[in-house]
A and B are shown apart, each in its own frame.
Chain A
Amino acid sequence: MTATATTAAPAVPEATSAHRRPWGRYALRAASLLAALGLWQVLTGLDVRLWVHFDQLPTVAEVGREFGQRIGDGLYWQDLADSLRRILTGFALAAVLGVATGIGIARSTVAADILGPVLEVLRPIPAIALVPVAILLFPSNEQGIVFITFAAAFFPVLVSTRHAVGALTPVWEEAVLTMGGGRWRVLAQVVLPGALPGILGGLSVGIGVSWICVISAEMISGEYGVGYRTWQDYTIVDYPGVLVGMATIGVLGWITSAAVEFAGRRVTRWLPRTDRRASR
């Protein structure tokens, strides 16, 4: 398999035919990132003031130097581990409960009537607005942050699952029923695998929203964590530190989304793919 690309471009290997991916595309992706960094360096290095003020912003070199110092420090890795632990816990809870609730609502009118109204009222509330509630509800900040991360990913997963289950071809279920399969057989062997392609869309959106919320929650109420550190650096006017934090969030977000996409393509290999390869 692949995964030997440069550090600038974490590989997103194609499930179907990794060996066929032209290396030119990796080169182009790396070049795109490098060009963005180069532009940043030029604008900040030359102290460009074109209505927006690039002279205030640290240069790539300064940020790089700061980053070099931090990766030698245990604190950086602890922050990183804390943030990852929070997001993975919250996201995993959201994935399991979101899929279960989505299937329940789509398949049972009783569940839809009981849970539907409550969830529809909660859904428009931005997860980050739940910070006061989380502080009141949970004994520690840690659990509050996980709760907010969970709440952020839960609704995209729930909604996508509900729609995916609703759009299932009835003939699959009828086939399993006429083989003598019962309710659980239908759920495990028709509903879940059949809805998976749609659920993955929700998971993909969910992991992105989770990052936004875990970082925001850490900024407001965290102890340790990439979001907390970034805000700390801002309050002590350590701008290169702030940008190291932002870059860290960006790269971690990219890696986790890529992992969700990769896992998604692995479990939906059965989907007929014609031109998907070209579009990725």
Chain B
Amino acid sequence: MSSPAVEGTTVTAPERAVEAPPGLGLRLDGAELGRPGAPVLEALDLDVAPGELLTVVGPSGCGKSTLLRTLAGLLPPLGGSVTEDGRPITRPDADRALVFQEDALLPWRSLRSNVELPLAIRGTERARRRRTAEEWLARVGLGGRENRLPHRVSGGQRQRVQLARALAGSPRAVLMDEPFGALDAQTRAGMQQLLVDVLRDTRATVVFVTHDVDEAVFLGDRLALLGTSRGPVCLLDVPRPRDRAAHNEPETAALRREILESLGPLGS
């Protein structure tokens, strides 16, 4: 496997990140993933370095979500080992937040109360978790809407709340399962920028699953191709992560072409 490229993240981390908890190192060795009797991924080796942003692309049904659910601890591996900082992942934990594609907010709780939930679970006292939740909502552009119920705001706004909820608990890894998949192109570009902005202040490791090649190339430090003819997983370095201006650079275009070719006839 190719070596992790983490220069990008360490350079952009500002002073504030010093107080943030360090990112988790996630690792799969010869892992077999899926439901019992129905493995989706086999002989999978993957090493996600602490603090890096790894994007995962692959054809539908290749096991992208299965990979995330395993890393989250919701789905035990069928074989091999799956570890965080060397310890096996056996169950879900607040250190590994999961952001879902849609409608994972609790509909009976206000936006604020949804963001407060991970803090309440961590035992943060009431006044402090309220303040933290309001700060996070303001950061994702939803200041003043704290008391709304999820169904009273748009789909894009709900995803921003989910992002705030995931990050409010200061997790050491954030696992994102096509979080912007249901949004229109314009909202999606805004959300990508928001994600880049909020992640700058954390040191969390991010695994970001998407079916959008442009999104994967823009966001990732590295990119993992899953379930292609090139093997169970194929890692590619992204030349200039999170730089919009790099979109038309020859090396970025070459990377995009390489990914599309690997994804097969539908992509090319």
Contacts and interface: CB of A to CB of B under 8 A. Distances in A.
Contact of A175 (B93, B95, B98, B122): B98
Contacts of A270: 107-109, 149, 151
B74 to A, nearest CB: 6
Q: Is the interface of B mostly helix, strand, loop or mixed?
A: loop
B186 to A, nearest CB: 25
A39 to B, nearest CB: 45
A175 B107 CA distance: 12
A181 B121 contact: yes
**Range of interface residues on chain A?**
20 to 34
**Range of interface residues on chain B?**
20 to 34
Contacts, number: 66
A180 B118 CA distance: 7
A254 interface: no
B106 A179 contact: no
A177 B92 contact: yes
A169 B74 contact: no
B57 interface: no
Nearest to B95: A180
Interface in A77-103: none
Contacts of B98: 174-175, 178
B169 interface: yes
Nearest to B102: A171
A175 B92 CA distance: 10
Given A178-B97, A180-B93, A272-B151, A185 B106 contact: no
B181 to A, nearest CB: 14
B144 to A, nearest CB: 20
A190 B105 CA distance: 11
Contacts of B121: 176, 179-181, 185
Contact of B169 (A179, A190, A194): A179
B137 interface: no
A176 B165 CA distance: 11
Given A174-B74, A178-B72, A270-B149, A193 B106 contact: yes
B103 interface: yes
Contact of A180 (B74, B122, B175): B122
For A175, A181, A193, A268, the residue with the greatest tally of chain B CB atoms inside 10 Å of its CB is A175
B129 interface: no
A36 to B, nearest CB: 39
B258 to A, nearest CB: 33
A189 interface: yes
B117 A176 contact: yes
B255 interface: no
21 contacts: A174-B72, A175-B104, A176-B106, A176-B117, A177-B74, A178-B93, A178-B94, A178-B98, A179-B97, A179-B118, A179-B169, A180-B94, A180-B118, A180-B121, A181-B121, A189-B106, A193-B108, A194-B108, A270-B107, A270-B108, A272-B107
Interface of B: 72-74, 92-98, 100, 103-109, 117-118, 121-122, 149, 151, 165, 169, 175
Top 6 nearest A-B pairs (CB, nearest first) are A180-B94, A270-B108, A179-B118, A178-B98, A177-B92, A272-B151
